[in-house]
């Protein structure tokens, strides 16, 4: 048993729903108790879809337990086919139905439905949402795939794999990547699962390679296509300017075309100039903590260091299935990757790292708010505001522009920061005023700034030193306090004086 308050991922059947909801002409029948329909509102509310997800639930109740639940399932499957007339029926079970003896796949096959049935195994007590999505897409591809010999495949065509329902910015990422491919003269054969019908899935073999946008969703299917059908796949996820350039090179090589026309799109990207403009100098070495799904976390770290000039002080993911990529990336930044799905551990790590900015999920947004830190959302899970009306990709050159705006915005702007330092004691810029974007609620937020009783053996702050500490801008004060205390402790100092403070400052730099 695992004590949980927040969960980064839902159970695997939610992943299956994300695939079914993304597709056309496909219906999912879930053997599930009354109440599991709550998941519908993730799609109708958070993603604001205008139709119900194509999912029928058996909604069995206690009085149905016993032999009746199998009958309920058969009725639900029969009625779903009659009413929705899908081209393909997916069947599976949610966590409770997994405990019953009914076998949805077997039951559906005995019904003699005039529609192909694809059974899904969704082990709810071992796996989670992203795995459920990846597995469902893999089963679909494997089950419907019509093999085409490599020499018979259309040259300069690819599939785009991964975008699905409830994906973080999937809608706009696809448009961005399509524009890049169009520029290279590469035709898109199938986008899956978003917008694909079962017939489209069957045509996946006709393309000469696969573009994998979201490894968490599409790796399993793409790896199988590569292994079994020699259909190569991309490895670079085009988030950030550098990654987009690499992606263009990779795609151009796979299609055997000249990358130059797509690389020329960079002339429309403002991000590199914005990052070089002098107002951005203050971003140099900003300490940033990054957490999210593996793909977005790794991509964000590269952008943060190489394109924003930040210092990455923490990198982690909740995706255990893709943790290897994050561990490898973390090593490159001289860090130990944090792989956990316990948000309290993440909060602890953030507290310890004392970053100036957090890039994370909805949950890190709440943690950062509580700690009085700037934050931007880079990954699911996200709330409704991160499924925006405006075009806001993360991928490609426009995606880089979006990253620039959305990460810089929460930070105190350069001029504002300068003013804060200059008019430190001014009535409008005093400590308790807090950064304007965080609102009044956070006035008391940087709790670790307040003088507190030191634990045994830890050095005490002299009144002078404490007062001097308060003159340091609040957004770096936590770090200054920590550094000074560490410095004093290392030297066995009993108390922290003005000198200790400035000795430590000299020792550590800013």
Give me the catalytic one of 279, 405, 426, 464. 279
As given in the structure block, the two tokens for residue 363 are 């949950």
424 is a contact residue toward other proteins (CB under 8 A)? no
6 is a contact residue toward other proteins (CB under 8 A)? yes
As measured in angstroms, the least distance from the Cβ of 318 to other proteins is 13
Q: For residues 324 and 333, give the distance between their C-alpha atoms in angstroms, rounded to a whole number.
A: 15
Angle, vertex CA 282, rays to CA 302 and CA 403, nearest 5 = 40
Instruction: Return the axis-axis angle of helices 463-470 and 498-508, rounded to nearest 10°.
Output: 50
447 is a contact residue toward other proteins (CB under 8 A)? no
User: Closer to other proteins at the Cβ: 291 or 308?
Assistant: 291
As measured in angstroms, the least distance from the Cβ of 62 to other proteins is 4
Q: Of these, 24, 96, 224, 468, which contacts other proteins (CB under 8 A)?
A: 96
User: Closer to other proteins at the Cβ: 344 or 413?
Assistant: 344
Q: For residues 410 and 315, give the distance between their C-alpha atoms in angstroms, rounded to a whole number.
A: 20
8 Å CB contact between 479 and 287: yes
231 is a contact residue toward other proteins (CB under 8 A)? no
Using CB under 8 A as the binding criterion, the count of chain residues that bind other proteins stands at 55
As measured in angstroms, the least distance from the Cβ of 10 to other proteins is 4
Q: Of these, 51, 389, 432, 463, which contacts other proteins (CB under 8 A)?
A: 51
Q: Of these, 24, 25, 49, 508, which contacts other proteins (CB under 8 A)?
A: 49
Site for other proteins in 332-391 (CB under 8 A): 366, 370, 383
Tokens 């990054």 correspond to what residue?
A: 290
Q: Of these, 2, 151, 450, 456, which contacts other proteins (CB under 8 A)?
A: 2
Instruction: Return the axis-axis angle of helices 170-183 and 241-255, rounded to nearest 10°.
Output: 50
442 is a contact residue toward other proteins (CB under 8 A)? no
* 258 in active site: no
Q: Of these, 11, 292, 410, 446, which contacts other proteins (CB under 8 A)?
A: 11
As measured in angstroms, the least distance from the Cβ of 164 to other proteins is 17
Q: For residues 126 and 131, give the distance between their C-alpha atoms in angstroms, rounded to a whole number.
A: 10
Q: Of these, 17, 18, 20, 56, which contacts other proteins (CB under 8 A)?
A: 56
How many residues are present in the chain?
510
As measured in angstroms, the least distance from the Cβ of 43 to other proteins is 8
Q: Of these, 13, 139, 477, 481, which contacts other proteins (CB under 8 A)?
A: 13
- CA of 34: how far to CAs of 59, 121, 127, 132, in Å? 4, 20, 22, 21
User: Closer to other proteins at the Cβ: 40 or 246?
Assistant: 40
161 is a contact residue toward other proteins (CB under 8 A)? no
As measured in angstroms, the least distance from the Cβ of 83 to other proteins is 6
Q: Of these, 17, 19, 28, 76, which contacts other proteins (CB under 8 A)?
A: 76
Q: For residues 407 and 308, give the distance between their C-alpha atoms in angstroms, rounded to a whole number.
A: 10
As measured in angstroms, the least distance from the Cβ of 337 to other proteins is 23
CA Rg, the chain, in Å? 26
| Other Cβ atoms within 10 Å of 99 Cβ, number | 9
Nearest CA-CA partner of 297 in 410, 386, 378:
378
As measured in angstroms, the least distance from the Cβ of 290 to other proteins is 20
Nearby residues of 396 by Cβ (< 8 Å), 6 or more positions away: 173, 176, 177, 179, 180, 238, 244, 265
As measured in angstroms, the least distance from the Cβ of 282 to other proteins is 30
User: Closer to other proteins at the Cβ: 38 or 273?
Assistant: 38
8 Å CB contact between 181 and 240: no
Q: What is the DSSP string of 232-246?
A: -B-----BSHHHHHH
8 Å CB contact between 91 and 29: yes
| Other Cβ atoms within 10 Å of 54 Cβ, number | 20
User: Closer to other proteins at the Cβ: 83 or 230?
Assistant: 83
167 is a contact residue toward other proteins (CB under 8 A)? no
Site for other proteins in 113-152 (CB under 8 A): 124-126, 128
3-state secondary structure 319-365: CHHHHHHHHHHHHHCCCCCEECCCHHHHHHHHHHHCCCEEEECHHHH
By CB under 8 A, which span of 89-97, 140-148, 222-230, 501-509 interacts with other proteins?
A: 89-97
> Residues interacting with other proteins, by CB under 8 A?
1-7, 9-11, 13-14, 33-42, 44-45, 48-52, 56-62, 64-65, 72, 75-76, 79, 83, 94-96, 99-100, 124-126, 128, 366, 370, 383
Catalytic residues: 279
């Amino acid at each position: 048993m695992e004590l949980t308050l927040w969960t980064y991922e839902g159970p695997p059947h939610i992943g299956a729903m994300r695939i079914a909801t993304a597709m056309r002409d496909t219906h999912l029948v879930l053997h599930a108790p009354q109440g599991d329909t709550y998941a519908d509102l993730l799609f109708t509310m958070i993603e604001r879809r205008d139709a119900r997800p194509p999912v029928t639930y058996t909604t069995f109740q206690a009085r149905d337990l016993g032999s009746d639940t199998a009958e309920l399932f058969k009725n639900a499957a029969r009625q779903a086919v009659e009413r929705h007339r899908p081209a393909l029926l997916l069947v599976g079970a949610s966590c409770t139905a997994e405990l019953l003896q009914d076998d949805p796949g077997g039951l559906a096959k005995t019904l003699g439905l005039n529609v192909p049935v694809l059974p899904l195994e969704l082990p709810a007590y071992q796996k989670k949402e992203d795995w459920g999505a990846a597995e469902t897409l893999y089963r679909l591809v494997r089950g419907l795939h019509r093999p085409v010999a490599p020499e018979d495949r259309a040259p300069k065509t690819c599939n785009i794999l991964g975008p699905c329902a409830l994906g973080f910015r999937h809608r706009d990422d696809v448009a961005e990547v399509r524009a890049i491919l169009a520029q290279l003269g590469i035709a898109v054969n199938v986008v899956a699962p978003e917008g694909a019908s079962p017939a489209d899935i069957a045509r996946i073999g006709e393309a000469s390679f696969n573009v994998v946008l979201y490894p968490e969703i599409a790796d399993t299917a793409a790896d199988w296509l590569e292994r079994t059908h020699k259909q190569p796949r991309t490895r670079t996820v085009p988030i950030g300017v550098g990654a987009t350039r690499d992606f263009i090179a990779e795609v151009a090589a796979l299609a055997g075309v000249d990358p130059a026309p797509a690389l020329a799109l960079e002339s429309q990207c403002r991000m590199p100039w914005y990052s070089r403009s002098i107002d951005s100098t203050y971003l140099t070495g900003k300490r940033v903590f990054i957490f999210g799904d593996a793909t977005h976390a790794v991509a964000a770290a590269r952008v943060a260091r190489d394109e924003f000039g930040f210092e990455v002080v923490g990198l982690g993911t909740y995706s255990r299935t893709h943790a290897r990529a994050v561990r490898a990336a973390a090593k490159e930044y001289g860090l130990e990757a944090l792989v956990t799905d316990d948000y309290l551990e993440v909060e602890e790590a953030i507290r310890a790292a004392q970053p100036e900015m957090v890039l994370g999920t909805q949950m890190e947004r709440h943690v950062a708010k509580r700690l009085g830190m700037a934050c931007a959302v880079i990954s699911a899970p996200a709330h409704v505001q991160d499924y925006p009306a405006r075009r806001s990709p993360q991928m490609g050159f426009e995606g880089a522009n979006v990253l620039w705006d959305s990460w810089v915005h929460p930070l105190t702007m350069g001029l504002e920061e300068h003013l804060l330092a200059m008019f430190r004691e001014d009535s409008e810029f005093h400590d308790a005023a807090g950064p304007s974007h965080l609102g009044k609620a956070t006035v008391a937020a940087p709790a670790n700034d307040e003088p507190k009783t030191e634990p045994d053996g830890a050095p005490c702050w002299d009144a002078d030193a404490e007062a001097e500490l308060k003159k340091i801008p609040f957004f770096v004060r936590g770090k200054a306090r920590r550094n000074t205390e560490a410095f004093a402790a290392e030297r066995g100092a009993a108390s922290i004086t003005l000198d200790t403070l400035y000795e430590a400052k000299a020792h550590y730099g800013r």
